[in-house]
Amino acid sequence: MTEPLVSVVIPTYNRAYCIERAIDSVLAQSNANVEAVVIDDGSKDQTDALMQRRYGNDPRVRYFYQENTGISGARNAGLQRVRGDYVALLDSDDDWAPWKLELQIACMRAHPELGMTWTDMIALGPSGEKTHDAYLRVMYDAYRWFPKPEGLFQSSQPIDAVAPRAAEIAPGRRFYFGDIGAEMLMGNLVHTSTVVLTRARADMIKSFREDLRHAGEDFEFHLRTCRAGPVGFLDVSAIRYQRGRADQATKPANQIHLAQNFLRVIEPILKAERNSLRLPLRMQNAVLAEAHAWVGQVRLDMGDAAIARRELLQSLACQPLQARTARLLVAACLPPQLRQTVRRLYRRARGRG
């Protein structure tokens, strides 16, 4: 059977120090029919020279340079250039296990109704040391609503039922699939560098939102993908995810953008579809309360007490009995110097607890 072409979109910016590992992991896939579509989003670190030296004669690697537009713009430029039957996404500081695409494509060919699959991941610290063997449920807090995959997906089967080599690669691991469009509103469940989409689903979703420039654009993209039809999850760590570097979108300085964009994405949907969603009202209220409280807390930490009070009041309106949010609201009403003292004492008390 001819292997389908998989187009892998790799956005990059000033990552000449690590991009080779990402690209080499694509070219080393046991599913050998791949192309790497590398979008250089205005790098100033000689990425172009590296790409020419290492991959200039390899037709599987297509390199494009553009002026800086942000990660969404770079991913969109890559999505516009893909030629494959499937589209995968990979950040330039992550890398894949050599069998990743083999297992995902096998599951997707066995279930052609699925528009996307993703996997778990190994986490690496700043120096490359392994910190977690299965990091997805640690990184994405929304999994606390669905502690077992059986509570999230409608169906499952052993991975080796459709990908025989999984018996030696990932013995006993399962593939879960179904419709989770409503459940994704509780928060992100998908890590971008693990994703494979069918070309049809990618063409339907089209692009990442470039107005969510600083953070959260991946959640909005995956939410739309899940709301468009059934998807699947392979319960196996198939990538190595790099944590703790200063140039990552998840750095602390981006917390306000993560918080605001999450609320911006989910609130209109929950308001418009409140009575038709396959999601209990208590969960809808809870996620809205958490989203407003998240924005309120970050705003309070930034010294924006007026905005913090507004968001914290909104949170309590969604879910009144929240002791922590109430404490934050009290702090937001205090004079600045007293507020800092109270919050410092509260953090110290929590640390002792």
Strand partners for 314: none
pLDDT band, very low/low/confident/very high, at 41 (cuts 50, 70, 90)? very high
pLDDT at residue 247, as a whole number: 52
Average pLDDT, the chain: 93
Average pLDDT over residues 208-220: 88
CB 61 within 8 A of CB 55: yes
CB 11 within 8 A of CB 39: yes
- For residue 21, count CB atoms less than 10 angstroms from its CB and return exposed for 0-12, middle for 13-18, buried for 19 or more: middle
Tell me the C-alpha distance between 198 and 35, whole Å.
15
Q: Which domains are seen in the chain, by residue range?
A: 6-242 (3.90.550.10), 252-352 (1.25.40)
Provide the whole-model pTM: 0.92
pLDDT band, very low/low/confident/very high, at 84 (cuts 50, 70, 90)? very high
Average pLDDT over residues 45-61: 95
Length of the chain: 353
pLDDT at residue 252, as a whole number: 56
- Residue 78's Cβ-side half-sphere holds a number of Cα atoms within 13 Å equal to 29
User: For residue 293, is pLDDT > 90?
Assistant: yes
pLDDT band, very low/low/confident/very high, at 245 (cuts 50, 70, 90)? low
- Residue 251's Cβ-side half-sphere holds a number of Cα atoms within 13 Å equal to 8
